[in-house]
Structure formats: C-alpha cells, structure tokens
C-alpha cells in the first residue's frame, strides 16, 4: 500500500480523497500513478503548493484592481487600518496620468487571461476624487471593466458625487451598527455633523435615485456590538427600511489591525480563534488582485502595501516580482507549517494580522481548523466538482 505516502493535506471522505491545496478529487480506489498525477503524494508537496500559489486562482471570473485615488478622508475611524496614511481633504493629490494607468492595468490583466476587470476605488474617501474617477471611467479601454467604490457616505452627497455613484456597477458603504455604535467608531475629522444622520440621509437619496440595489453595506462591529442584539436589530431594520437588501447587509466583526490587535484570554490573536478556513492565500500573495495608489505605485495588497513597482514599469516585470514574493511567504518558511494538514485552509493568515502573518506557527489556528468537518468538505467538493451539482 502506498497510502502512507499521501500527504496530510489530502482528506479522505466517503466518496474519495480531496487534495485541499489544488482541490483535485480522486475516488478511493485510485492507483498510485493517479495520485501522483494530481499531486497527492508527500514528495510533491512543495511543487503542488507553489503551483497553486502561482496560478491565477480558480475560476474567478474577473481580476481585481484596487485604485486608491488619494488618502484624503473626512473621517478618522477608531478601527481604521490605514489611519497613518490619511490626509485632510485637499492634501493628498493624485499624480497619476490616466492613460498610463489604464495601459498598465490592461497590460497586467492581459497576463491573467481574465475577460473582466473590476476596478475598485477605495481610500481614504474616494468620493473626494470625483474628477479623477470620472476620467478613469471615461478613458477608452480594450477590456471589459466593471466599477465598484467603497465609501463612508458620511457627509452630505453633492450632485457630482451622486453622478459618480451612478457610474458604479456596485458600491460598498461602511456602516458600523446603530447610530450610537456607528458614531462611536466613525469619528468626523471636523465635528460639525452627526455622521450617522448624514449617512442615512444619503442612503435615502440613493433609494430615491434607484441606486439602493447597488449597495452592499459592510460593517465593522466590535465584539461588544455583536453581543448587543437590541442595537443590532435597530441597525438591521434601519438599513432594510432604507432599501438595502437582506443579502447585501453584511454583519462583520472588526478586523484586527497591526496597531490594534485583539487577544483572547489565552493570549491568542482573536482572528486565530476563527474556525474559518481560508482556502485562498492572503491577498498579498494573490496575483489577480493588485493595488495602485495615487502616485502610481503598484502594491500587492491594501494592508501591507508591499510595493512591487510602478505603473511605468512593464506589467510582466511586476508579475515576476509577485511570483518572487511567494518565496518570502512566512508560512512556506516555517517548519511546523510545512507539516501541517490544514496549511491550505490557513495559508498563514492575513498580512493585516501582522504577528500571525510573520510568525504563523506561533500564532496558530491549527486546532480550530482541524475541527472542521472534513468529511463534509470532501463530499461537498465531490458533489460540486465531480457530479457537477450547483447546490
């Protein structure tokens, strides 16, 4: 028997074996050569993991380019992960030439063979850069683009800003709970208004203009707020009454931040107590997703802002740097992680959880992830991939 040569990241279920690194499936009675052909054996570990990380992920239909028009922002939120970069409105200028930007994006995305590009405008507050966004959208392009914008909507919308929102396919609005909760976390740079009132008035304006169906509400709720069900009910009911659909109202916990990590009673980062399998690697190590800032710097992701180069360099050079950066993933250089059977449900965590990312086995989530119902994972994958079910 050769089954002792199968890597621990291959899970066995009633229907067969599932390789959770490359998500290939084999029936239980497969031959050793079949196992080898799909990278199920221990001696293939490194190659299989590298090829997974180097591949453009799965069947994601579009590539994602996050654009930071500038760091101007009207808020200073208590949980902001980029607060050290923020500027007062008017201080952070966009220095990018639009033709250079579009040429680079299309050149980079040509490498991914994706048919659709999502341009996501984030900040800071991107609605403070309406001229830039209008120019980006109106510039001629060869690829199909869709547009998204993340906004705090926390100051009265101008006509110009409303027109920009009308150009978006979707937009994401940050709301952190009921009025008390939201205003406690979302602090205005200048205390001239009630940000929650401005926000809800703006959501009314969106509904009146038929834009409410494009809105996803994302929240960053503290653990305290998640426990307060009366306030949560108020929050949900208010959003629904303003035309936000139930499936686009996301109740989310606050993200750990490098400057404000949260630890539980066992001195573990709270994110590491999550039983959530992270089946894709951190966005720093995901090639179909890049970030371009207001100076034309191309970065791997929003959180670490790891600079790969600039839009004035060739897209293939940037992509090569991306591939090189995979070798620096701490999780691939950690001996304990190398032997871990849940490596591909973790991938070392998010760069935003700085401690976890840099020292993955010291901030390990292994026990929680190992409690996942593996049999169900295997069978669900079997049903979807082998039998072609969409359920």
Residue selected from 43, 59, 159, 335 as contacting other proteins according to rule CB under 8 A = 59
Can residue 278 be called a binding residue for other proteins (CB under 8 A)? yes
Q: Is 345 in the site for other proteins (CB under 8 A)?
A: yes
DSSP annotation of 27 = E
Q: How far apart are CA 391 and CA 388, in angstroms?
A: 9
> CA 165 to CA 159: how far, in whole Å?
10
C-beta of 5 vs 261, nearer to other proteins: 261
| Distances 8 to 13, 259, 282 between C-alpha atoms, Å | 13, 35, 22
Q: How far is the CB of 24 from other proteins (least distance, A)?
A: 10
Strands 297-299 and 289-292: antiparallel
Minimum CB distance to other proteins smaller for 191 or for 229: 229
218 binds other proteins (CB under 8 A): yes
- 216: contact with other proteins by CB under 8 A: yes
Mark the segment that binds other proteins (CB under 8 A) among 96-104, 158-166, 228-236, 323-331: 228-236
Q: Residue 185 and residue 223: Cα distance in Å, rounded?
A: 13
Pick the binder of other proteins from 167, 249, 305, 326 (CB under 8 A).
249
CB of 256 to other proteins, least distance (A): 8
By the rule CB under 8 A, 242 interacts with other proteins = yes
Mention every residue, 6+ apart, whose C-beta is less than 8 A from residue 68. Answer: 121, 122, 123, 124, 126, 291, 292, 293, 294, 302
The site string for other proteins over 6-35 (x = CB under 8 A, - otherwise) reads --------------x--x------------
- Confirm or reject binding of residue 66 to other proteins (CB under 8 A): yes
| Ordered alpha helix ranges (H), the chain | 32-37, 45-54, 98-112, 130-138, 159-167, 179-185, 195-208, 223-227, 229-241, 315-326, 335-338, 354-358, 366-370, 374-381
Is residue 350 a contact point for other proteins (CB under 8 A)? yes
Phi and psi of 349, rounded to 5°? 80, -170
Q: Which of 237, 259, 316, 386 binds other proteins (CB under 8 A)?
A: 237
Closest contact distance (angstroms) between CB of 347 and other proteins is 11
Interacting span for other proteins (CB under 8 A) from 42-50, 114-122, 134-142, 319-327 = 114-122
């Amino acid at each position: 028997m050769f089954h002792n040569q199968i890597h621990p990241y291959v899970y066995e279920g009633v229907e067969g074996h599932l390789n959770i690194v490359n998500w290939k499936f084999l029936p239980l009675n497969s031959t050793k050569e079949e196992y080898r052909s799909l990278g199920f054996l221990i001696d293939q570990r490194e190659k299989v993991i590298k090829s997974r990380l180097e591949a453009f992920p799965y069947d994601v239909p579009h590539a994602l380019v996050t654009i930071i028009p500038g760091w101007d922002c009207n808020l200073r939120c208590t949980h902001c992960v980029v607060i050290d970069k923020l500027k007062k409105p008017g201080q952070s200028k966009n220095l990018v030439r639009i033709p250079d930007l579009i040429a680079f994006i299309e050149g980079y995305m040509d490498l991914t063979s994706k048919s659709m590009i999502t341009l996501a405008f984030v900040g800071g507050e991107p609605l403070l850069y309406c001229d830039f966004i209008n120019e980006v959208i109106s510039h001629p392009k060869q690829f199909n683009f869709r547009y998204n914008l993340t906004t705090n909507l926390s100051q009265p919308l101008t006509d110009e800003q409303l027109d920009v929102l009308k150009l978006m396919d979707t937009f994401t609005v940050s709301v952190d709970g009921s009025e008390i909760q939201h205003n406690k976390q979302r602090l205005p740079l200048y205390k001239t208004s009630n940000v929650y009132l401005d926000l809800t008035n703006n959501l009314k304006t969106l509904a009146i203009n038929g834009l409410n169906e494009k809105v996803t509400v994302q929240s960053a709720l503290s653990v305290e707020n998640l426990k307060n069900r009366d306030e949560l009910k108020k929050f949900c009911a208010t959003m629904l009454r303003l035309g936000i659909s139930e499936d686009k109202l996301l109740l989310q916990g606050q993200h750990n931040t490098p400057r404000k990590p949260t630890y539980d009673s066992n001195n573990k980062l709270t994110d590491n107590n999550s039983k959530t399998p992270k089946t894709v690697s951190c966005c720093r190590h995901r090639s179909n997703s890049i970030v371009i800032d207001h100076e034309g710097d191309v970065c791997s992701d929003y959180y670490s802002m790891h600079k790969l180069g600039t839009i004035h360099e060739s897209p293939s050079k940037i992509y090569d740097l991306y591939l090189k950066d995979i070798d620096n993933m701490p999780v691939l250089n950690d001996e304990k992680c190398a032997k871990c059977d849940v490596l591909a449900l973790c991938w070392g965590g998010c760069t935003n959880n700085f401690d976890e990312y840099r020292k993955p086995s010291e901030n390990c989530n292994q026990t929680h992830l190992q409690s996942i119902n593996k049999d169900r994972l295997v069978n669900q994958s079997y049903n979807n991939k082998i039998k072609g079910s969409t359920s």
